[in-house]
Structure 1
């Protein structure tokens, strides 16, 4: 890949949080909801998932201006059974509806051992790992599914139909790091294509095809084409699974009818599916945590293949990045800062100062 062609500036997390919060409230988002959204976006930045962090703000604000995302929407929660509920996001921010949904799933799991929440009529909710972390902070295991706009062909097809919808799950541990899996069914997340485009970088040729079906290292051509599924038919099947549990099950858009976060033409109608599970259902909590710690030790202590310095546990690299960026700051290119400051100017709020 090409090296970044722009100078990088490091922004302290607290400064970034205040800035993002100002833009959100300046666009009609309540203080309470802005706090949730800001926390989720900056968490992604801290974990190194820059594709799902604060750089998403311009696309979200454009959708507000085009009146296809309601910044003041209040999600409506309905209890379906003692252990299941549904949230109608009312076309508001996916962060807010998903946060409410996971909170409810955790509450039900604390009483019944498991809590299931379906979310309908939602929008992009950023990095799935923040919802997994919300469950871990409450001592819960979790499953987090969402569907998304067409970007991936089904195996054997050639046109966009399924989303690169992430599958995420997690479990708390004792003394070791928790297990956090957050992955797309494509070779790479689509957000990485947009990130490369913003930064003037090329992409690996195995990530996507252009509109003519050729491999490309040009992110602009990749956006016009299709993403490639990981593992061939396996990645394709996972994408369909996300559509079943998130779109079909919730009553939201599915089968290629979800509107993308960069498309300001109409409401997204995204669906999510959230599950919280009490980890001590079948054994004592101390025993469960001890077993999770043993699993971690076995994984990272594995015999390493040639050329590998360290074996990482799922989610560990992001947790290490989080710890590093809390101290060093979060990197942004000048083009990214310019895009964010243009939103600040439109909202009539103080710009991001990186000097």
Structure 2
């Protein structure tokens, strides 16, 4: 660990993985499970997604302490068909359930060319992109999603009925950067609306509605209302499809059946996830895929930028650049999060 001039700690990837794993082990997880959780959250930090990285020790840790999440989860996997896996997370920590489901889908895809894992009895599993990255490193293209606590009103509705569910896509590149798209279903996060309120600024009318379901440019009214989905009614339909795959078909909770971890931290959420993988080795050689992936990116990069300071990029390039920089220079972590991680880690063996 090192510090900057403002005393913000920097860690190497290995140091942060070790601290994260020890912290979750201190919260009661078996050592191997704690490593799985830390792997996903540290990868999120490497990508620059700090709100979904080890900072999640705050909410995950509190729910583990009050029994809302089971530390000693017994995750099971069923195989009702050659390419299909059903994962019961036993109310375990979300990234742990996610890693079990990812491995199950990879196994099915190796055997059948395609693999689908549907998980239930889970919790918040972090961002999608770390799973997409791991899948790509093993040669799999992926479509991955999860449902979430309700924060969005149905199109034309006036109360929260569906979650801001994440959806991601990944395609490996054996000789370059993988394609990684990770997005939620709302136009913006609530944090952007809160920031606009603090600055005394208005917001675009496609970000949110007031509590009566009417579009608003007033951030105060927006914070009392609901987030709007991307693409209007089309985004609404896409959000529903994510919940159908992640929640309804997996036999997890869906829509308003999903409990809020904020309102009921001591109760299981029963979130669901889906992992759809394609083994790209069945489609062609690594050199074939690399040539096509690099050409695909080159076509996009060659488009003249409307703003010279913002060249055209392919999804995932920002996150992968963050990862390269932080693997070289270290990962900055909020001091309060470091303190919490160290406190939980100190409980190990007590």
TM-score by length of 1: 0.85
Give the 5 Å matches for 1:160-179: 160-179=160-179
Q: CA 1:166/1:327 → structure 2, altered by over 3 Å: closer, same or farther?
A: same
Give the 5 Å matches for 1:338-353: 338=336, 341-342=339-340, 344-345=342-343, 348-349=346-347
Q: Does 1:125 align with 2:139?
A: no
**Cα drift, residue 282 of structure 1:** 4.1
**Cα drift, residue 290 of structure 1:** 1.4
Question: How many Å separate the matches in 2 of 1:204 and 1:22?
Answer: 44
Question: How many Å separate the matches in 2 of 1:223 and 1:260?
Answer: 17
Q: Alignment partner of 1:259: what SS?
A: coil
Question: How many Å separate the matches in 2 of 1:286 and 1:346?
Answer: 46
Q: Deviations over 1:280-324 (max 9, x none)?
A: 434444323311111011112222224443111111100001111
Q: Does 1:320 align with 2:321?
A: yes
Q: Does 1:37 align with 2:53?
A: no
Is contact 1:193-1:203 (8 Å) kept?
no
Q: Does 1:257 align with 2:241?
A: no
Matched pairs, number = 336
Which residue in the other structure is 1:20 paired with? Answer: 20
Name the stretch that deviates more: 269-278 or 337-346.
337-346
Q: CA 1:280/1:68 → structure 2, altered by over 3 Å: closer, same or farther?
A: same
Q: Alignment partner of 1:85: what SS?
A: strand
Is contact 2:146-2:272 (8 Å) kept?
yes
Give the 5 Å matches for 1:171-320: 171-189=171-189, 192=191, 205-206=203-204, 207-209=207-209, 211=211, 214-217=216-219, 225-263=225-263, 264-320=265-321
**Cα drift, residue 22 of structure 1:** 2.5
Give the gaps of 5 or more residues in structure 1: 1-6, 351-355
Q: Alignment partner of 2:290: what SS?
A: helix
Give the 5 Å matches for 1:326-341: 326-333=327-334, 337-338=335-336, 341=339
Q: CA 1:113/1:302 → structure 2, altered by over 3 Å: closer, same or farther?
A: same
Is contact 1:72-1:92 (8 Å) kept?
yes
Question: How many Å separate the matches in 2 of 1:196 and 1:44?
Answer: 23
Name the stretch that deviates more: 93-102 or 53-62.
93-102
Is contact 1:143-1:274 (8 Å) kept?
yes
Q: CA 1:189/1:341 → structure 2, altered by over 3 Å: closer, same or farther?
A: same
Q: Alignment partner of 1:74: what SS?
A: coil
Give the gaps of 5 or more residues in structure 2: 1-5
Question: How many Å separate the matches in 1 of 2:81 and 2:330?
Answer: 45
Q: CA 1:10/1:234 → structure 2, altered by over 3 Å: closer, same or farther?
A: farther
Name the stretch that deviates more: 295-304 or 85-94.
295-304
Which residue in the other structure is 2:92 paired with? Answer: 92
Q: Alignment partner of 1:145: what SS?
A: strand
Is contact 1:45-1:54 (8 Å) kept?
yes
TM-score by length of 2: 0.87
Question: How many Å separate the matches in 1 of 2:151 and 2:128?
Answer: 18
Which residue in the other structure is 1:353 paired with? Answer: none
Is contact 1:10-1:329 (8 Å) kept?
no
Question: How many Å separate the matches in 1 of 2:218 and 2:347?
Answer: 39
Question: How many Å separate the matches in 2 of 1:106 and 1:8?
Answer: 42
Question: How many Å separate the matches in 2 of 1:293 and 1:88?
Answer: 38
Q: CA 1:312/1:29 → structure 2, altered by over 3 Å: closer, same or farther?
A: same
Is contact 2:68-2:267 (8 Å) kept?
yes
Question: Cα RMSD (Å) of the superposition?
Answer: 2.8
**Cα drift, residue 32 of structure 1:** 0.3
Q: CA 1:154/1:178 → structure 2, altered by over 3 Å: closer, same or farther?
A: same
Is contact 2:152-2:163 (8 Å) kept?
yes
**Cα drift, residue 85 of structure 1:** 1.0
Q: CA 1:347/1:22 → structure 2, altered by over 3 Å: closer, same or farther?
A: closer
Q: Deviations over 1:242-268 (max 9, x none)?
A: 111110101110122212343414211
Q: Alignment partner of 2:151: what SS?
A: coil
Is contact 1:150-1:257 (8 Å) kept?
no
